[in-house]
Amino acid sequence: MTDRVLTVTELTKHFDGLPAVDGTSFEVREHEVVSIIGPNGSGKTTTLNLLSGLLRPQHGTVVFDGTDITGRLPDALAAIGLTRTFQNGRVFGTMSIDDNVTVGLTPKLRAARPLARLRRIPVLRWIPLLAETVVALVRPPSVRREERETAQTVTGQLERFGDRLLPRRSQEAATLSYANRRRTEIARALAPSPRLLLLDEPTAGMNPAETDEVMHQLLALKRDGQTMLLVEHKLDLVMTVSDRVIVMDHGVIIAEGTPAEVQADPAVIEAYLGSRRGRAVADIAPSGATDEGDHE
């Protein structure tokens, strides 16, 4: 196994002939935190959508842990250790925090999902569904053991967030504050212990105190060795948590390097500041910018 968790080569996605991601190549190594920054519309979310299987590239390849995963669907990717969160935050409003986080573990369930691989074969899809119904009714010891393990994993994930989520774990997600819904989503993505976690603007819409809290959680994950690819607007956070920063503009990578290298790069200053160039990039962190305009 190489220390390269992700290798992206010439990734390309056009919408109606307009390039959103235009031949980008980069890699993420084990235990690294890599951030993608860039102005609105520069192709950051599209990149994550291509990596996580929501979109299929017109050209290029994505190799994850030595396996070509280009075009594979999100649930298959989650099962092999690639999970994500969304720019707008996505939780199931009528489900409890517990159940939302448990959903993140579904692709990894073995006892409760016998013959899951047959699900991908349309004419045989009924066989795993029947088998799942039978084990759900009979609840053999293997299923009960798996349920206990799942509950423990969920509790462990909720504990990451101190008393933010644990006391509310049986509440419907729709009743939570915006920040707590986003924390729930992060817990769900982390539940299956992904080899690579993709985060699309995890602090979008959060106030400075909430942003700071998420930053410390990301730093704690980094200390645990969690490999992460982060899209984020708030440059203070990016510069604090990242080992490397990739800068996109108009679908292409215009700079890449350590936070210090990128901050000093004239092309980056130009892309962020336009005519107001000359100030340090960190000075213009678009605080509070939420950029909630997903296009999926």
Instruction: Give 153 or 242: the residue with its C-beta nearer to ligand ADP.
Output: 242
- Partner whose footprint covers residue 42, from ligand ADP, Mg ion, none (CB < 5 to 8 Å by kind): ligand ADP
Q: CB 203 → Mg ion: shortest distance, Å?
A: 13
CB of 5 to ligand ADP, least distance (A): 22
Closer by beta carbon to Mg ion, 45 or else 70: 45
260 burial via Cβ count (<10 Å: 0-12, 13-18, 19+): exposed
**Partner whose footprint covers residue 15, from ligand ADP, Mg ion, none (CB < 5 to 8 Å by kind):** ligand ADP
Do residues 282 and 239 lie in contact, with contact meaning Cβ atoms separated by under 8 Å? yes
Determine the interface stretch with Mg ion among 42-50, 63-71, 108-116, 221-229 (rule: CB under 5 A): 42-50
Using CB under 5 A as the binding rule, whether residue 45 contacts Mg ion is answered as yes
Own/partner long-range contacts of 269-274 (Cβ < 8 Å, ≥24 apart): 271/38, 271/39, 271/42, 271/247, 272/39
Residues in contact with ligand ADP by the rule CB under 6 A: 15, 20, 38, 40-46, 291, 295-296
253-282: which residues touch Mg ion (CB under 5 A)? Answer: none
**Per-residue mark of binding to Mg ion, 56-95 (x: CB under 5 A):** -------------------------------x--------
Confirm if 192 and 107 have CB atoms less than 8 A apart. Answer: yes
Give 63's DSSP letter: E
Residue 287 token pair: 């605080």
Nearest residue to Mg ion, scored by beta-carbon proximity: 45
With contact defined as beta carbons under 8 Å apart, do 274 and 62 qualify? no
Q: Which two tokens stand for residue 53?
A: 């299987």
Q: How many residues bind Mg ion (CB under 5 A)?
A: 3
Dihedral sign (CA 122, 123, 128, 129): positive
39 contact partners, CB below 8 Å, separation of at least 6: 249, 271, 272
Backbone angles phi, psi at 41, to 5 degrees: 80, 10
Q: Minimum Å distance from CB 219 to ligand ADP? A: 24
* Least distance in angstroms from the C-beta of 44 to Mg ion: 5
| Eight-class DSSP state of 230 | E
Window of 45-53, 172-180, 236-244, 272-280 that interacts with Mg ion by CB under 5 A: 45-53
By the criterion CB under 5 A, which residues form the site for Mg ion?
Answer: 44-45, 87
